[in-house]
Structure 1
C-alpha cells in the first residue's frame, strides 16, 4: 500500500493537508498524474502541470514541490508539497 501526503503551504505553514492511500505494491510513475490529480481534488485545489523533473524529484527524494508557476489556474497558496509516506 502506498500513501501520499499532500500539503498546501502558505507562508511556510501548512494551510491544508490530506493523505491519499493507493492500493498498489509499488509506485507506478506512469499513473503519477492521476495520483496528483486525485490528491488535488481532495484538497480542493487546481492540478499542477507535471513535467519530467517533478517525477524524477519524487522518485529520487520521495517528495515533490509544486510552486505557483506550475499551475495554470489561480492558486491561492505558496506551494503544494507531496511526500511519500513509508510504512
Structure 2
C-alpha cells in the first residue's frame, strides 16, 4: 500500500495539504498516476516528472516539485510529496 502526504507552499507558508492512499504497492510505473491524482485534488496541472524526482522519492521518501517543473502556471511555489506511514 502506498500512502502519501502532499502539501503546497507559497513562499514559506503551507497553503494546502492532502493525504491519500493507494491499494497497490509502489512501482515506478505508477508514480506519475500518484502525482496526477494529487494534482487533481489541488486543481493544479501535473508537473513534468524527471528521473531525479523518482530517485529523490525512492532514496529519501520525499520529492519536491518547484514552480519551474510545471509547464502551466500554478498558484504555489512548491509541491512537496512525502511517504506517509499513517493516513
Say yes or no: TM over 0.5. yes
Are 1:33 and 2:32 matched, yes or no?
Answer: yes
Figure out how many residues of one structure are paired with residues of the other and give that number.
86
List structure 1 runs of 4+ shifted beyond 2 angstroms. none
Question: Over aligned residue pairs, what C-alpha RMSD do you find?
Answer: 0.9
Q: Which residue of structure 1 aligns with residue 67 of structure 2?
A: 68
Give the TM-score taking structure 2 as reference length. 0.93
Q: Name the TM-score, length of structure 1 as normaliser.
A: 0.93
> Deviation of residue 45 (structure 1)?
1.1
The whole-number CA distance in structure 2 between the counterparts of 1:20 and 1:29 is 17
Q: Which runs of 5+ in 2 are unaligned?
A: none
